[in-house]
Amino acid sequence: MCGIVGYVGAVDGRAILVEGLKRLEYRGYDSAGIALIADGGQVEVVRSQGKIAVLEERLRARPVSGRIGIGHTRWATHGRPSDENAHPHSSGPFIVVHNGIIENYSEIKARLEKEGCAFSSETDTEVIVKLAEREWNSGKSAKDAIVASLKQLRGSYAVVFLCQETPGELIAARKESPLILGLGEGACYVASDVPAILSYTNRIVYLEDGDIVTVRKDGYVIETLEGEKKERVPQIIDWNPVMAEKAGYKHFMLKEIYEQPQAVINTFRGAVDLNRMDIRLPQLQLSDSEIGRIRRIYLVACGTSYHACLVGKYFIEKVCRIPVEVDLGSEFRYREPILDADTLLMVVSQSGETADTKAALQEGMERGAVCRAVVNVVGSSLARMAGGVIYTHAGPEIGVASTKAFTAQLVALYLFGLYVGRAVNRISREDLPAYVQELIELPGKMEDVLSRSEEISSLARRYMHARDFLYLGRGVLYPIALEGALKLKEISYIHAEGYAAGEMKHGPIALIDENMPVVVLMDRGPLYEKMLSNVQEVKARGGQVIALVEEARDDKAGALEDQFILPPTSSWLKPVLFSLPLQLLAYHVAVLRGTDVDQPRNLAKSVTVE
Ligand code: AGP
């Protein structure tokens, strides 16, 4: 998820672009750049790896100016953070900034290289501006060349173009990535999100998928790519700039909880080939023959990412019939793990910088294992150390408590299981469409659960003063019991334990009394009746039960006043849905208790020390 800003007006735009990018730094911050067309007509581009402060330093040394320009702060999806991969990207008279994922960029890049095109970056974005130049060279106008290039793209984009041949106008377009217009006095703005321009105007036009807009300082024209004019009513925004960085949410964590359906879509979309109904993971760099040699898989991570690995184990063993061991990053290297060339070590990490997980990967490399990584940050240490990666395209996760990265990790591990399952012929080509169809339906079910946050908020009010919580789950939901307990403890500071429900009678039942809320995860699978028994054991001792029940209320276990009903889904996808109410429960309890939800005490977003 990147930040884009564009400006055309009567005064110099450099400061406007830089300030706008700073307001978007939460969307991505591994590199940044701006481009301006100076009054003399020359194009000035300044880019830098690192945070926007580095760009500012370069601009102090090279104070470019112009009354029309574009800017970009990057969250890398293709190509590591570097000056060359930083936006804007230029070719011929065109300069572009882009937010999104061009799924067919490698095909386009190969075709253009065959025609003698030279590329200077590893990004998917550069193909957009190369295509525009190619179309322009064929005699099209600047706008028609841009339209023709956009029509060749598959995937998502929000783009803003400068063209040296038309220095009085910006051309912007969106498809599945957000883009807005800001209407000022004698100036117009384009941005990924409201915060970038709220200091200059609160009159906003929300562009829609398929819109392309020509923007001048005194107005704009919105059309479709087919040239049909479109009218969009300007809205008046009443947020303040700080609120706007969270898109109106009170905390980044809440915003990220609600971003999960999109994060799941972004994670699986690029990997699922709907035409061939197959799974593509080119960046994993793992051939069928290499997969054929794998006799054991280790999944290694820390914290929430470790819980994702526990879920991954169930699915991968089920569909691939290859033994999977799951280890904590902080333990793995001290137990002299049995690793060799027939072992695949997959580390999982949101940040890609966790010291214990890095050490585990180092151990695997030294012992000759095949090493891969699931990471959310392109170009992070783990992404660079491993022999290949699966990226969770969840976008920057600012809240310390991991939410959207977690469910995106689950999806990444599902994709890995399907990919390996196909390679070892445990999943036939005929089996795959059913799995893919369920993945496609998942985001809608997530939206349904998330839309009922108020039910969770009332549960939070009832139990916010408890001193201890117990979370119980069985089978593939046991790791979700662990994750739910971690979420609650790390942001509300209430002690919470996750337990395999079958273990309750082996100890934790001694804790049950009227002061101990017990969260039970009750999917309608083969273990449902056993979970009902757990509920009755808890209630028989005066315990308070909060039941997450699948499909329908269930009062077999007596008057269960506190139930949250989840939509049905296949067993392998239940962990994603059951996580959501647990994230919301932790969030609402923490808000009620007044803790710092986004930056809880003692914690860091990335634990880069052992
Ligand atoms: C989870 O909410 C915590 N923030 C923490 O457990 C985290 O999952 C862990 O530190 C691992 O981080 P990583 O995914 O960036 O490696």
Identify any residues that bridge with 72 across adjacent strands, giving them in sequence order.
Answer: 4, 33
In contact, 306 and 478? CB cutoff 8 Å? no
Cα 44 from Cα 62, distance rounded (Å): 10
Atom of ligand 1 nearest to the CA of 357: 16
Cα 603 from Cα 502, distance rounded (Å): 31
* Spacing, Cα 347 to ligand 1 middle (Å): 13
Residue 470: closest CA among 518, 405, 438, 408 = 518
Q: Cα torsion at 191, 183, 262, 562 (round to 10°)?
A: 130
Measure the CA angle with vertex 223, ends 217 and 228; round to 5°: 145
* Spacing, Cα 331 to ligand 1 middle (Å): 15
Residue 278: closest CA among 423, 67, 459 = 423
Cα 282 from Cα 293, distance rounded (Å): 19
Assigned token pair, 469: 């919580």
Assigned token pair, 230: 């479109």
Residue nearest to atom 5 of ligand 1 (CA): 303
* Spacing, Cα 260 to ligand 1 middle (Å): 17
In contact, 382 and 355? CB cutoff 8 Å? no
Residue 263: closest CA among 170, 365, 393, 383 = 393
* Spacing, Cα 396 to ligand 1 middle (Å): 13
In contact, 413 and 316? CB cutoff 8 Å? yes
Asked, as a colleague might, if the bond just before 433 is cis with ω within 30 of 0, I would say no
Atom of ligand 1 nearest to the CA of 490: 2
Query: Residue 586's pLDDT is what?
Result: 98
Atom of ligand 1 nearest to the CA of 401: 2
Q: Which residues line ligand 1 (CB under 6 A)?
A: 302-305, 349-351, 354, 357, 400-402, 490, 606-607
Query: Residue 75's pLDDT is what?
Result: 83
Residue 170: closest CA among 161, 180, 183, 179 = 161
* Spacing, Cα 386 to ligand 1 middle (Å): 19
* Spacing, Cα 399 to ligand 1 middle (Å): 11
Residue nearest to atom 7 of ligand 1 (CA): 303
Atom of ligand 1 nearest to the CA of 605: 4
Cα 140 from Cα 132, distance rounded (Å): 9
Cα 111 from Cα 114, distance rounded (Å): 5
Q: Which of 2, 163, 302, 320 is catalytic?
A: 2
> If you count them, how many residues does the chain have?
610
Burial 197-233 (b: 16+ CB within 10 A, else e): bbebbbbbbebeebbbbbbbbeebebbeeeeeeeebe
Query: Residue 555's pLDDT is what?
Result: 65
Query: Residue 10's pLDDT is what?
Result: 96
Give, for ligand 1, the residue of 299, 304, 374, 599 to mutate: max count of ligand atoms closer than 8 Å to Cβ: 304
Atom of ligand 1 nearest to the CA of 400: 4
* Spacing, Cα 326 to ligand 1 middle (Å): 16
Residue recorded with tokens 């359906």? 261
Which regions of the chain are under pLDDT 70?
Answer: 239-244, 553-561, 609-610
Atom of ligand 1 nearest to the CA of 402: 2
Atom of ligand 1 nearest to the CA of 403: 2
Query: Residue 557's pLDDT is what?
Result: 56
Annotated active-site residue 163? The verdict is: no
Count CB neighbours of 15 within 10 A. 12
Distance of CA 15 to the CA centre of its chain: 30
Task: Calculate the alpha carbon distances from 380 to 268, 312, 609 in Å.
Answer: 20, 22, 15
Query: Residue 558's pLDDT is what?
Result: 52
Rounded to two decimals, what is the model's pTM?
Answer: 0.79
* Spacing, Cα 495 to ligand 1 middle (Å): 18
Annotated active-site residue 2? The verdict is: yes
Cα 270 from Cα 104, distance rounded (Å): 9
Query: Residue 248's pLDDT is what?
Result: 79
Cα 543 from Cα 599, distance rounded (Å): 32
| DSSP 8-state code for residue 471 | E
> Residue 227: CB partners within 8 Å, gap ≥ 6?
none
Give, for ligand 1, the residue of 302, 389, 489 to mutate: max count of ligand atoms closer than 8 Å to Cβ: 302
Half-sphere exposure of 389 (CA within 13 A, CB side): 27
Give, for ligand 1, the residue of 253, 256, 257, 305 to mutate: max count of ligand atoms closer than 8 Å to Cβ: 305
First-to-last C-alpha distance (Å) of the chain: 29
Pairing between β-strand 544-550 and β-strand 203-206 as defined by DSSP bridges:
unpaired
Write phi, then psi, for 532 (nearest 5 degrees). Answer: -60, -40
